[in-house]
């Protein structure tokens, strides 16, 4: 009798768990793997790198499916059709940002990248677009800033001619200095201790934000105040805040109101003009704002450049063909101009193919629905977290001639002219679209940097994979941005300079 009652109780518990699992998904919500109480679907995902798991779940549940991070539902969207419907056709419906994740707590919900869709976001985005435009983004004055930093790249590479070198720090600091010129009107030497500290804080937080501890933080709120490794991210943010406050205080002492030298001066002018008008502008917001713009303007560009030269060394015939085209177009010219890209279809194709295979931001930045909406026939309630799996678009069968290999022909038509397929969205559907509320603020600067840096360096140097370095490893290191594994390269001058 006791055994019978035990079996009955066991089945009642099992039945209760099944009911819990089934009751999680609202009516007509996208399907997905079983949802377990408290755990959600965390057992279905690798805490270190979930990209392969996302692809596996796509094969089982389709282009639009749901997962649960603890008790919080999230919809993962895959493939061009679904991503385009969400992020372009219905951009406003999907323009929100989740506000209850690890990264939001670390940044205190400040800045512009992670802040939610609303009045504060609109105010700061409008200000950023106007300010960055005034400082020459997309204009010849910005070209001058990029070329000024390229001089330091060239000098560093000349010192390494005939040797092997690791280019990671060089490319990262070059990209950082270009955006620092806009933000702080200054650049840093590549071995500067302060910029090393900023880079270290950002790098550590990037890894923590997509690592296992962040996922556990998001899934189990009860552990958030415990002295666990994710607390390091809060310490790093405080460190950056202290550095940023130093920059701001320095600007307060030296600025001339109405004559801004950089972004910080413009923001301080705006604060002075607004006074106590109840707006969202504040010095605390400026700290996070500068971190947002610095991080977004540094990591994606530097990692794309690292990917570019890794592939150009591995495929020397592609490097040679780029150099032939560059020599022909720039013959007699002192330096490259961004407009020269229109005369370089093959080089343009190579740069875009690098961005495609680099897949620098594989999950974009998480979105959130701002209203009840629909996607591919499914009902998505307001406030649902949205995860774009951009890997599924950049490697999608039928969208690319060679979806699973590095080949510039993906961006060339039958006549050898440059074409940009609709599925090209290396940072997000709206990042490289002409419209959309979440369009990337620095798109023009990123494209200009990649073109001018790659063309100038390829014009002056030949890059060779070292004979003793073994086979190139293209497997990236997973993070907020995908980073190539550290490598070394051999540098030769192409002609007497």
pLDDT at 343 over 80: yes
Q: Is residue 89 domain-resident?
A: yes
Domain that holds residue 112: 26-493
Partners of 386 in the β-ladder: 75, 367
Structure confidence at residue 135 as a pLDDT band (50, 70, 90)? low
Q: Is residue 319 domain-resident?
A: yes
For helices 443-460 and 283-314, the axis angle rounded to 10 degrees is: 40
Q: Which of 198, 210, 208, 199 is nearest to 231 (CA)?
A: 208
- Distance (Å) of CA 335 to CA 320, 381, 457, 461: 19, 53, 11, 14
Residue with tokens 């959600």: 40
Number of domains in the chain: 1
Taking the C-alpha atoms of residue 330 and residue 361, their distance in angstroms, rounded to an integer, is 32
Q: Is residue 197 domain-resident?
A: yes
Taking the C-alpha atoms of residue 330 and residue 345, their distance in angstroms, rounded to an integer, is 14
CATH number at residue 66: 1.10.630.10
Query: 3-state class of 27 per DSSP?
Result: coil
What rounded mean pLDDT belongs to the chain? 85
What's the mean pLDDT in 351-378?
92
Per-residue confidence (pLDDT) for residue 429, from 0 to 100: 44
Q: Is residue 193 domain-resident?
A: yes
Q: Above pLDDT 70, what percent of the chain?
A: 87
Strands in 259-298 per DSSP E: none
> How do residues 138-185 score in pLDDT, each as one tens digit?
556 788 889 999 999 999 999 999 899 999 999 999 999 998 888 888
**Geometric angle at alpha carbon 376, from 371 and 382, rounded to 5°:** 15
Query: 3-state class of 464 per DSSP?
Result: strand
Largest Cα–Cα distance of the chain, in whole Å? 97
Structure confidence at residue 113 as a pLDDT band (50, 70, 90)? low
For the chain, the straight-line distance linking the first and the last C-alpha, in angstroms and rounded, comes to 94
Structure confidence at residue 376 as a pLDDT band (50, 70, 90)? very high
Q: Is residue 7 domain-resident?
A: no
pTM greater than the 0.85 cutoff:
yes
Partners of 462 in the β-ladder: 492
Q: Is residue 77 domain-resident?
A: yes
> How do residues 32-88 score in pLDDT, each as one tens digit?
999 988 888 888 888 778 889 999 999 999 999 999 988 889 999 999 999 999 988
DSSP state of 42: G
Q: Is residue 320 domain-resident?
A: yes
Q: Is residue 102 domain-resident?
A: yes
Taking the C-alpha atoms of residue 72 and residue 40, their distance in angstroms, rounded to an integer, is 8
Which CB contacts under 8 angstroms, 24+ apart, belong to 125-130?
125/441, 127/266, 127/267, 127/270, 127/281, 128/289, 128/293, 128/441, 129/441
Element at 202 (helix H, strand E): helix 193-209
**DSSP labels, 232-269:** HHHHHHHHHHHHHHHHHHHHHHH--TT---SHHHHHHH
pLDDT at 4 over 60: no
Taking the C-alpha atoms of residue 255 and residue 250, their distance in angstroms, rounded to an integer, is 9
* CB distance 189 to 315 below 8 Å: no
Q: Above pLDDT 90, what percent of the chain?
A: 47
């Amino acid at each position: 009798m006791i055994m019978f009652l035990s079996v009955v109780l066991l089945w009642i518990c099992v039945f209760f768990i099944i009911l819990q699992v089934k009751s999680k998904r609202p009516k007509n919500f996208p399907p997905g793997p079983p949802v377990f109480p408290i755990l959600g679907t965390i057992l279905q995902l690798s805490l270190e790198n979930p990209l392969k798991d996302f692809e596996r779940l796509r094969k089982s549940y389709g282009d639009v499916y749901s997962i649960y991070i603890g008790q919080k539902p999230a919809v993962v969207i895959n493939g061009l059709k679904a991503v385009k419907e969400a992020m372009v056709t219905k951009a406003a419906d999907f323009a929100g940002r989740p506000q209850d994740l690890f990264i939001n707590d670390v940044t205190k919900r400040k800045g512009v990248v992670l802040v939610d869709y609303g009045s504060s976001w609109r105010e700061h985005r409008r200000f950023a677009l106007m300010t960055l435009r005034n400082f020459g983004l997309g204009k010849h004055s910005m070209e001058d800033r990029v070329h000024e930093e390229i001089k330091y790249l060239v000098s560093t590479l000349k010192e390494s001619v005939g040797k092997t070198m690791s280019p990671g720090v060089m490319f990262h600091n070059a990209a950082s200095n270009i955006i620092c010129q806009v933000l702080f009107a200054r650049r840093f030497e590549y071995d500067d201790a302060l910029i090393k500290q900023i880079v270290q804080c950002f790098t550590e937080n990037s890894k923590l934000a997509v690592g296992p501890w962040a996922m556990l933080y998001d899934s189990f709120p009860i552990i958030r105040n415990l002295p666990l490794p994710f607390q390091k991210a809060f310490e790093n943010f405080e460190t950056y805040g202290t550095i940023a406050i130093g920059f701001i205080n320095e600007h307060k002492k030296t600025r001339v109101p109405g004559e801004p030298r950089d972004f910080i001066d413009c923001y301080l002018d705006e604060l002075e003009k607004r006074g106590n008008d109840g707006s969202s502008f504040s010095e605390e917001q400026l700290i996070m704002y500068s971190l947002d713009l610095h991080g977004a303007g540094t990591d994606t560009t530097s990692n794309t450049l690292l990917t570019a030269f890794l592939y150009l060394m591995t495929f020397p015939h592609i490097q040679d063909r780029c150099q032939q085209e560059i020599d022909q177009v720039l013959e007699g010219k002192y330096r490259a101009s961004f407009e020269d890209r229109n005369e370089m279809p093959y080089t343009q194709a190579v740069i875009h193919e690098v961005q495609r295979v680099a897949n620098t931001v594989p999950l974009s930045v998480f979105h959130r629905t701002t209203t009840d909406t629909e996607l591919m026939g499914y009902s998505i309630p307001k406030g649902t977290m949205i995860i774009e799996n951009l890997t599924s678009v950049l490697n999608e069968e039928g969208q690319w001639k060679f979806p699973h290999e590095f080949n510039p022909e993906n961006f060339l038509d039958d006549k050898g002219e440059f074409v940009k397929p609709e599925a090209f969205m290396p940072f997000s559907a709206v990042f490289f679209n002409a419209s959309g509320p979440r369009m990337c603020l620095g798109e023009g600067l990123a494209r200009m940097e990649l073109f001018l840096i790659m063309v100038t360096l390829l014009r002056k140097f030949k890059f060779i994979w070292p004979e003793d370095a073994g086979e190139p490893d293209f497997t990236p290191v997973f993070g907020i941005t995908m980073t190539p594994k550290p490598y070394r390269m051999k540098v030769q001058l192409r002609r007497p300079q």
